Structure 1
Amino acid sequence: MKWKCKLCVHSSDTRRKLLEHYRLKHSYFSKVTPLPCVFEACICTFASFNALKIHLSRSHQHKGSAGIEVQGGVSLFTCSVCKFNQPFSEETLFSHLRGHLKNHETVPCPFKNCSYTTNVYSSFNAHKSRTHGSALDFSDNVVSTEKVAAPATADFDEEHSLGQPEELSEDVPSHSEDGICETSFWEAQLHQKLASLFLKMQSILHVSERACQDIRATGKGQDLSSAKRRKTYIERHYPVVMPVQYVLDTGHTTVYVPILEMIQEIFKHTDIIDLIKETKNSEKGHFKSHKDGLYYQENDLLSSSELTLPLILYLDDLEIANPLGTSRKIHKLCSVYWVFADLPQKYRSALHVIQLAALCKVTDVQKYGYQNTLGPLFKDLCILEKDGLYIEHLGCTVRGTIFCVVADNLAAHSLAGFVQCFRAGYVCRFCKATHNQIQSLDVFEGEFSPRSKLTHDRDVQDVVQGKLSSQCGVKGDCILRNTLQYFHPTTGFPPDALHDLLEGIVPVELALCIDRMIRLKYFSLDSLNQKIESFSYKGTDATDKPKPISKTFANKKNIGGNGHENSTLLRLLPLIIGDTVPEGDGAWTILMDLKEIVELVLCPIFDEETIQYLQSKILDHRQMLQEVFPDFSLLPKHHFIEHYPHLIRCFGPLVHLWTMRFEGKHRFFKRVVHDAQNFKNVLKTLATRHQYMIAYHLSAQGFLKPHQQTSSVSSVLVSQLPDVAKQDIKQKTDSNIIYATSRMSIDGTLYEVGMFVSVGQEGGLPLFSKVENILIVNNNVTFLCNDYKSFYLEHLRSFELLPGNIAVHSILELNDNLPLCAYNVSGKLLLSPKRFVLPVRK
C-alpha cells in the first residue's frame, strides 16, 4: 500500500519512509502546522515529531501478550473485575484498573504468574514498579487476541515496528540522473531549516539578536552567521513584505506595511481566496454575517456579481510602556490592522490572519492628522477600489474597498469626523440625539432623527465652509470618505459591544445593583467576594475568573475588570448568590435583564423574531433601570445599545465586528517591546518583527488551522458501545473498531468530555446534552451524549438540567457550536448560557 503525506503530495511505500519524510520536511513547522497522524483514518495532530512517534506506538501498534505483532487481529483487554472489554494498550489497561482502586475495589495483578491482589492505589503502583518494572507479559485472561476488522484504511499489520531501525537509502537518492551527487540538495534543505529556526526564534519565540548570535550557524552557511546576513537571507527567501518608514517631520515618522503587496503575498502562499469565494448570503430573514446586512447589500461595489475584496479596518491606541510608569503616554501608539471581511469567522479570528497596516505615535496623529500619518494606506486603498489588484491565482484583477472600520467610540468618532465629547451635546454617531434627550426619550419612540448620507454630507459641508465649528455633532469630514467612493461614515462604523456592554454598561450596573442589594442586607461585600473566590469555575470560566470586588466600588460607581471577567461575573452571578436574593427584587431584575441582553448581542446568528426580542428586552431594561434608580443618569452607551436591533439588520451579527479579537493582537507588540527593551525607532522595530512573524506563518505548510485537531485517540470496540451508537456507526462503516478521544478541537473550538452542547429544542426551550465520549468514524466526529431535559428558571435566568437518554449527535446538529459547563448548586445541576441559543431549523 502507499502511505500518503497529508501535508504535501509525497507518498512512500512504507510507514517508516513516510515518517522520515515527516521528520525531514515537516517536523520543524509542527508548532505552526501540527503534524497529522500517518494513518488516514486517524485525525490526531501533534506539536512535535516525537509526540507523533509516541502516539503511533500507543495507538497504532497492537501486540499480543508476549509483545508479538498480531497478524489479522487485535489484542483485547478484559477486566477481571467488571468484564470491561476494549482494544489493548498499557494506558487503557492501567487507567481502568486504577479506576477500580480509587473506589477501593480489590484488583488482581494483570501480569502472568502473579497472584498479588490489593485494593490500595499506592500499593498497586509500588508492586508494579518493584516486581514487574517494564515487563509486557500479561496474563492470557487479561490480554487476548481476537479477529476483528480494524478501522478503515488503518494498517495494523505494519511490516516494521516503530522501534526497529530501517534502511532509508531507497528514500534518499545519492546521485541525480546525470551522476552528480545529491549532497548539495540535503545541504540546501539543512540550510533552509537553519534559516527557519532563526526566523522562528526571532519572530515567534522573541529571542533576542544577541542570543541568536550566540547559537548562530557555524562552518557552512556563512550567510546566516550574523544578524545582517540572516536578515538579508530571510528577506530574499521568505515572503516578507517589509514595512516602509515615512518621515512626517524631523524626529516624527510613521510606518506603513504596503497593503497591496501583502494581499498578493497572502493569496500567493495560501488558499484564502478559495475560502472567500465560497462564502454566500444566508436565506432571507436570517443574519449570519455582514453579507446579510443592509449596508453590504446596498454597497454598489461589494454587492456586484463580480468577486470583490471587502476589508475590515481596525483602529486603536496601544500603550507599549508601563501605563503607570514615568513613560506613560510617551510611547502611546496608534495601530491600524486589517482583515478580509469575507473570510469565514472561524478563520478570521486567528491572530496571524489579522494583518498590520500602519503604526504611528498618537501625538503625531494629533499634530499632523490622519491624512498625513496614514496617507500611504489611504492611497493604496484608493488604488484597490478604482483600479483593483491583479491576483495571479485567479488570473484577473479584483477590486475591493473598506466595508467598515472597527474601533471603540472615541477612535470611531475621531476618524469619522464626529465630536469626541460624550458628556454633553450630540453624543451619537447613529442619530442626532443629545445627552439631555437620551435621559427621557428612547430610540424606539422614533423621536431621534437618524443620520443619513445626505444629511451628514450637508452637515459636513456647513462645517467645512466655515459656517459652524460643529453641526449636529459633526466637526469635519472623514478622510476615508474623501478617499473612497464606496465608503461613508454613516454606514462604515459599527458599534462595539465590548466597550459598550462588557466594559461599559455591565460594570457600572453591577456596581449600582450590588451596592443596593448590600444595603438591603441580602448579603455583605465580604460574603459576596468569598463566594466569588470559592466558586468552582470550570473550563474557560476558570481562565476568565472574575476578581473580588473592591471595597471602593460604590464610590467609583464601577466594579472595574476587563470584558472577559465582567461577562463571566454577570453570567454566573445567579449561580453564586441567586438563592440569597428574593424573587421580584428590582435591582436583581435589572441585572438579569442585562444578562439576557448580553447573551442576545453575542449571538452569532439572528432572525427577525430574535431581533424583535432583543428590542423588547432593551426597552424593558431601560424602564426598570429608571424605575428602581430614578436619580441615575443614563450613559451614552445605554443609548447606543438601543440602536443595536436596527444595526444588526444593517451590519449583521455585531459580535463578528467587535474589537475583542483585534485587541488580542496588541499582545504581540507588547511582547516584542518587553523582550527587546529598546525604544529606538520602536515603530520600525515592531513592524519589522511583525512582518517576520507573518512570513514565518506564510512559509509553513498550512496558513490556517485544520478543521479538526486532537492529540490523543484510543481504539474502541463498537460492540462495547450503547445500541444507539452501534446503529449510527453501522451506517457509516463496517469496521468493528473506531477511534475515540476525550478532547477535540473543531474549527478552533475545544470540545471535552463532560462539557454540555445544545442540540434541538422541546417546548420552545433548547435541549442540552452532556458529552460522554467523542467518537471518530471515517474522520467524522460524533458526540456520544447523555441528553438532558431543561427547565428554565426565571429568577436565575438559567436552565436546570435533568438527565435523560443516551444519544449520538453530529456537529451539524448543534444549535450552537459553543460548549458550556454546568454547575451543581444546592443539589441542582444548573447551566447558564454564554449567548442566546437559536434552535437549528431543520
Structure 2
Amino acid sequence: MFKCVAAGCKQVCTGYAALKAHFYRHHNSMPTVALDTSLTKLKCTVPLCNWQCEGIKALVVHLKEHIVEGRQVTCPVKGCTSVFRVKSSFTSHISRKHKNYLENVICETSNEDTQSAASATTKDSSVPDAEDTVIDGPNFSDLYLRNVCMFYIKLQGQHLLPSSTIQNIVEEMQNIHELGQTYSLNRLNLLLKEMSFADEDIAKICDTVKQSDLFSACHTGPMRTAYSRAQCFKDMFKYGEPKKVLLGKDEDRKDRFAYYVPVLNTLKGMLDSKYWQGLMMAPGVSKADVLSDCDDGKVFMSNVFFQENQNCLKLVLYQDAFEVVNPLGSAKKKHKILAVYFSLLNMPPHVRSNTDHMQLVLLCREKDFKEFGHSRVFSELLTDLKILEENGITMADESVVKGALYCIAGDNLGSHCIGGFTENFSTSQYFCRYCLITRSEFQSENPAIIGPERTPETYQSATEQLEREDVTEVQGIKFRSVFNTLENFNVCSPGMPPCLGHDIFEGVLSYDVALYLKYMIVKKKWLTYTILNRRIRQFKYKATDACSKPCAVTPKALKLSGQAVQNWNFLRLLPLLIGDKVQDSQDDIWQLTLQLKDIVDLICAQQISKPQVAYLNVLIQEYLETRKVLFPDNALRPKHHYLQHYPGLILKFGPLIRLWTMRFESKHSYFKRCARQLKNFKNLCLTLSERHQMLQAFLSAGTVTLPTLQIKDGSPFYLELYSEEVKGAVLHFGFTENNTMTPTDVQYNGITYKKGQFVVSRNDESLEFGELILTLVKDESALHFLMRVYRGEFLPHYHMYFVKDETRRLECRHISKLIDMWPLSSYIKDGNRFVPLKHSVLAV
C-alpha cells in the first residue's frame, strides 16, 4: 500500500506504478519561485560554454543544440536534476514537468543581483540540499546489499529462475556495469584535465569513485556465485534450511532421504518476524449457538491443552501426494511426491487461505514413504511436535509459547493412510474412519444409518488386538498411527476432518447431478445435452463465477467432468441454466436436485447456527432415503455415508469450509511450476524444498503486514455533489471530504467489493439484499456501504431469491453490520433479477 504524502491528499495506491501515475497527474509542478526573467541574462549551464541569452526560450533552444552535438544537458529549472541525451526526451520533459517555465523559473544566471534575490527567497522544504542527499557509511552499504539480495532471492524463490540463469544475469549485469563505469571514468578524467586538475588529484578522485562502487562490490563479492548468494541469503534473511532425514537404502542400495523443514525453527521465525506477528489474531469471543471458526467446535473446546493455554499455537497439518510430471507419461509415479504443509489457526481465515502463508513441513518421494514407513518419515516432525507440547518455544523476552496439533487435513485416501485405516473403499467391510458401520449395513434398506462412533478407546483396543493376533485388519484399522503418540492428539478424537471438495463436489454432487440430468434429458426429454452444453457455454457469468465456469456435460459419463469449484458453481446456477425447461416443478427428481443444492449451501456456510445444523441433519437423511428409493439400481457410494456424518462433524470442527483441502492443494502448483521450470529431477525433493524456503525468506523479509482494508483509486467524498436521497442516507455518519474517501474498488479481509454487487444485509423475518452503490472509507479504516436495499422473495421452483424494484430503499451501513460479507452477482431470468447465494446465511 502506497499512501500519497502530499499535504491534503487522501489518495492510497496499491502499487508503486500507480503512485507514480498519481503524482504525475496531480502533483506534477516543481517548486518554483516567481521571477521576472524577461530582461535577465541567462548563462548556459553546460561546462565550458559561456553562451548567454536574454530569455528562457532561447536558452532551451540553445540547450537542444548541445544535445544534437552529443553532449549531456541538465534541466535548467532549479530543483530539477534530470539529465538528457535525447532531444525529444528533453522537449517532452520541459512541456510536461515545467509547463509554466516561461513565467516561473529560476536558472543559473550571470547576473549576481538576480542570484542574490533567488537565494534570499524562501526555499521549499521539499527540495533537499546537496548536503542532505549525501549518503555514506556502513549502514547504507548493508542496506544496498539487502536490496540486491531481495532482488535475487525474489528471482530465485518467487519467479523460479534456475541458478544458471541467475548466474548469467549477474555476470552480464556486471560486465555492462563495468563498461559504463569505464566510460564514465574516462569522461571524468578528461573533464578534470580540462579544469587543470593535477594528475595525482585526478587519480585520487577516480580511485575514490571506483572504490565506492557498491554495485561492483556486491556482484564481485557476495553475489558472485550461486553458492555465495545462497550463503548471503541465509545470513541476511530468516531462511529455514531443509534438514536431510535418512530413511535407509532402497533396492538398489542407494541412500534415500526425506527433506524436513523443522517446525520449531519455522514457528520461532514466524513469532520473531513483525510480518507474521501482524497476521496473528487474538482469541475471539464466539456467539452463543453459532459456529464461526474451528475454535467453536467440540474438538477445540474439549481439548484440555487448548483450554489451559489460550494463546498457544494451534497447528493444522495437511498431507497429500502429487505428480510433478505428466501423470499419463512414461515417468508417471517416478517423481510422485508426498508433501506435508502446516497452517496456524491463530491467523484469520482469509489469511490462512493464502498459499503464501502455508508453511512447508516435509517433502518425500511417495515410493520411499511406502517403502520405509511412517515412523521414519515422520520421526523428526513428531519429535518437534512433542517438544512444542511439553516445552514450547522460548522467545527473545524469555516468554514461552506452547502449541499442539489440532487436526490433520487431507483427502480420504491420505487421511486413512495417516490414521492407519483401510484404504480400500470399494470392498472393505469397514470403510468409515468416523464410525464402525459395515458395508452390508450401509447397503441395507436404511441408508441414513450411522454405526457406533469410533473413539480413542475403540481405536486402542483394535490396535492391541492387531499386535496380539496374526491378522492384517481389525474393524478397518491396519496399524496404530504414529501421531497418536502425541499427548494432546488422537486420530479418533476425531482428528481428521472431511474434505468438502472430494466428498461432495467431486463425489456426491458429481455423480448424483449427472444421474439427475440423464433422467431429465433421456427419460423426461425436457431438453438435450446439446441445449444444456450450449447454455453452459453462453451463460453470462459474472465476477468470481466467471473464474470457475462449469464444464460441458458428457452424455455417457457417470459423473461431471469439472473440478470441485466448477461443479459447485454448476449446482448453484443449475436452476438458472435449465429451470425454464423443467415442465413439472414438483417432479421428485427435480425436487431432489434442489434439496441437494440446499444441503451444499448449508455445508459451505461461513457461519452456521446449531438449529441450522439440526435442519441439515434432517435434510441429509431425507435426501439419502429418497435417493435410494428413486434410483435403486444406482448404489450409494461411501461418500454418501460420509455426508451423513457432516452435521456431527460441523459441531466438532466448526464450519467445514474452514478446513477444506482445496486451498492446500493450490500449494502444489508452486512445486509443479518449480519442477517444470528448473528441469532438474536429480534430487527433486531437495531442490523444491530449498526453493520454497527461499520464497518464505523473501516473504518474511517484508516489514509491512497485510492490511485488513485495501482501496484503489480513492477520491474525497464531497457530500454536496450528491442527491438529497444520498444526503439523507449518510446524514448521521459524519462523512466529509477531509475524513472520507470513495474508492472505485475496495478489498476487505481478502474479499473484493465492487459497485453493482449484492450483499445480504438482513435475515430476520425475510432476507434483504443490498446493491452496492458507493463504498465509503472513513478515517482510512472504517468501511461503509451505501446500498440500495431490496427485499428478497423466495422462488420455490428455483430455490433462489430474486429482488423487485418496488421494494428498494437507500441505506448506509458499516460492513460489520452485514449478516454475510460475501459479495454476490445478480442474473436476469424470466424477467426476474435473481441473486444466487454462495452459501446459506446465518439467521438472526
User: Scaled by the length of structure 1, what TM-score is found?
Assistant: 0.79
Contact 2:760 2:769 in 1 (8 A): yes
Question: Structure 1 unaligned runs (5+)?
Answer: 1-33, 69-132, 138-158, 175-181
Contact 1:430 1:490 in 2 (8 A): no
1:202 aligns with 2:205: no
1:464 aligns with 2:478: no
Residues 242, 641 of structure 1: CA spacing in aligned structure 2 closer, same or farther, 3 A cutoff? Answer: same
Contact 2:787 2:810 in 1 (8 A): yes
Give the Å deviation of 1:768.
Answer: 0.7
Please name the residue that 2:775 is paired with. Answer: 774
Equivalent of residue 299 in structure 2, options 283, 289, 295:
295
Please name the residue that 1:73 is paired with. Answer: none
Please name the residue that 2:706 is paired with. Answer: 705
Contact 1:729 1:777 in 2 (8 A): no
Give the Å deviation of 1:826.
Answer: 2.4
Q: Distance in 2 between matches of 1:812 and 1:62?
A: 41
Give the Å deviation of 1:283.
Answer: 2.9
1:132-531 to structure 2, matched below 5 A, reads: 166-167=127-128, 169=130, 171-172=132-133, 174=135, 182-216=136-170, 218=174, 219-221=216-218, 222=220, 223-248=222-247, 249=249, 250-270=254-274, 272-273=276-277, 276=280, 278-392=282-396, 395-424=398-427, 425-440=429-444, 448-519=451-522, 520-531=524-535
Residues 251, 734 of structure 1: CA spacing in aligned structure 2 closer, same or farther, 3 A cutoff? Answer: closer
Q: One-letter code of the match for 1:167?
A: P
**SS in structure 2 opposite 1:710?**
strand
Q: Distance in 2 between matches of 1:443 and 1:36?
A: 60
**SS in structure 2 opposite 1:512?**
helix
Q: Distance in 2 between matches of 1:486 and 1:244?
A: 25
Residues 487, 391 of structure 1: CA spacing in aligned structure 2 closer, same or farther, 3 A cutoff? Answer: farther
Equivalent of residue 636 in structure 2, options 613, 634, 653:
634
Give the Å deviation of 1:485.
Answer: 4.3
Contact 1:732 1:778 in 2 (8 A): no
Contact 1:59 1:713 in 2 (8 A): no
Q: Distance in 2 between matches of 1:523 and 1:597?
A: 25
Residues 170, 730 of structure 1: CA spacing in aligned structure 2 closer, same or farther, 3 A cutoff? Answer: farther
Please name the residue that 2:20 is paired with. Answer: 53
**SS in structure 2 opposite 1:790?**
strand
Give the Å deviation of 1:550.
Answer: 2.1
Residues 41, 801 of structure 1: CA spacing in aligned structure 2 closer, same or farther, 3 A cutoff? Answer: farther
Question: Structure 2 unaligned runs (5+)?
Answer: 35-94, 100-121, 175-215
1:743-754 to structure 2, matched below 5 A, reads: 743-754=745-756
Please name the residue that 1:128 is paired with. Answer: none
Residues 47, 280 of structure 1: CA spacing in aligned structure 2 closer, same or farther, 3 A cutoff? Answer: closer
Q: One-letter code of the match for 2:127?
A: E
Residues 485, 758 of structure 1: CA spacing in aligned structure 2 closer, same or farther, 3 A cutoff? Answer: closer
Contact 1:497 1:654 in 2 (8 A): yes
Q: Distance in 2 between matches of 1:38 and 1:588?
A: 59
Give the Å deviation of 1:586.
Answer: 2.0
**SS in structure 2 opposite 1:714?**
coil
Q: Distance in 1 between matches of 2:342 and 2:822?
A: 26
Give the Å deviation of 1:478.
Answer: 0.8
Contact 1:506 1:566 in 2 (8 A): yes
Q: Distance in 2 between matches of 1:457 and 1:548?
A: 48
1:584-623 to structure 2, matched below 5 A, reads: 584-623=586-625
Q: One-letter code of the match for 2:19?
A: L
Provide the alpha-carbon RMSD of the alignment: 2.6
Q: One-letter code of the match for 1:226?
A: T
Q: One-letter code of the match for 1:575?
A: L
Give CA-to-partner distance per residue, 1:166-197, whole Å, 9 cap, x none.
Answer: 335465455xxxxxxx2544333222211110
Contact 1:792 1:799 in 2 (8 A): yes
Q: One-letter code of the match for 2:18?
A: A
Q: Distance in 2 between matches of 1:771 and 1:485?
A: 47
Q: Distance in 2 between matches of 1:770 and 1:795?
A: 24
**SS in structure 1 opposite 2:307?**
coil
**SS in structure 2 opposite 1:363?**
helix
Q: Distance in 1 between matches of 2:9 and 2:439?
A: 60
Residues 810, 629 of structure 1: CA spacing in aligned structure 2 closer, same or farther, 3 A cutoff? Answer: same
Please name the residue that 2:60 is paired with. Answer: none
**SS in structure 2 opposite 1:262?**
helix
Q: Distance in 2 between matches of 1:476 and 1:236?
A: 43
Contact 2:447 2:625 in 1 (8 A): no
Give the Å deviation of 1:585.
Answer: 1.8
Give CA-to-partner distance per residue, 1:530-581, whole Å, 9 cap, x none.
Answer: 000000001111110112122432xxx1122110110111111110111101
Q: Distance in 1 between matches of 2:168 and 2:698?
A: 22
Query: After the TM superposition, which of the residue ranges 245-254 and 44-53 deviates more from structure 2?
Result: 44-53
Q: Distance in 2 between matches of 1:660 and 1:418?
A: 23
Q: Distance in 1 between matches of 2:11 and 2:294?
A: 34
Residues 817, 61 of structure 1: CA spacing in aligned structure 2 closer, same or farther, 3 A cutoff? Answer: farther
Please name the residue that 2:73 is paired with. Answer: none
Q: Distance in 1 between matches of 2:767 and 2:564?
A: 26
Identical counterparts, % of pairs: 27
Q: One-letter code of the match for 2:736?
A: S
Give CA-to-partner distance per residue, 1:335-355, whole Å, 9 cap, x none.
Answer: 000011222212211211110
Please tell me whether Structure 1 or Structure 2 has the larger radius of gyration of its CA atoms.
Answer: 2
User: Scaled by the length of structure 2, what TM-score is found?
Assistant: 0.79
Give the Å deviation of 1:441.
Answer: 5.9
Give CA-to-partner distance per residue, 1:118-155, whole Å, 9 cap, x none.
Answer: xxxxxxxxxxxxxxx99999xxxxxxxxxxxxxxxxxx
Query: After the TM superposition, which of the residue ranges 720-729 and 283-292 deviates more from structure 2?
Result: 720-729
Please name the residue that 2:668 is paired with. Answer: 666
Q: Distance in 2 between matches of 1:502 and 1:715?
A: 45
Q: Distance in 1 between matches of 2:605 and 2:727?
A: 35
Q: Distance in 1 between matches of 2:735 and 2:620?
A: 54
Residues 170, 739 of structure 1: CA spacing in aligned structure 2 closer, same or farther, 3 A cutoff? Answer: farther
Q: Which has a greater percent of helix?
A: 2
Contact 2:28 2:97 in 1 (8 A): no
Give the Å deviation of 1:443.
Answer: 7.7
**SS in structure 1 opposite 2:490?**
coil
Query: After the TM superposition, which of the residue ranges 384-393 and 406-415 deviates more from structure 2?
Result: 384-393
Give CA-to-partner distance per residue, 1:715-754, whole Å, 9 cap, x none.
Answer: 3421122445435655444634642122111110010111
Contact 1:456 1:490 in 2 (8 A): no
Q: One-letter code of the match for 1:228?
A: Y
Q: Distance in 2 between matches of 1:136 and 1:822?
A: 49
1:832 aligns with 2:813: no
Q: Distance in 1 between matches of 2:256 and 2:542?
A: 49
Q: Distance in 2 between matches of 1:758 and 1:608?
A: 20
Give the Å deviation of 1:41.
Answer: 8.8
**SS in structure 1 opposite 2:308?**
coil
**SS in structure 1 opposite 2:471?**
coil
Please name the residue that 1:759 is paired with. Answer: 761
Q: One-letter code of the match for 2:591?
A: T
Residues 792, 642 of structure 1: CA spacing in aligned structure 2 closer, same or farther, 3 A cutoff? Answer: same
Residues 357, 597 of structure 1: CA spacing in aligned structure 2 closer, same or farther, 3 A cutoff? Answer: same
Residues 515, 378 of structure 1: CA spacing in aligned structure 2 closer, same or farther, 3 A cutoff? Answer: same
**SS in structure 2 opposite 1:685?**
helix
Q: One-letter code of the match for 2:801?
A: F
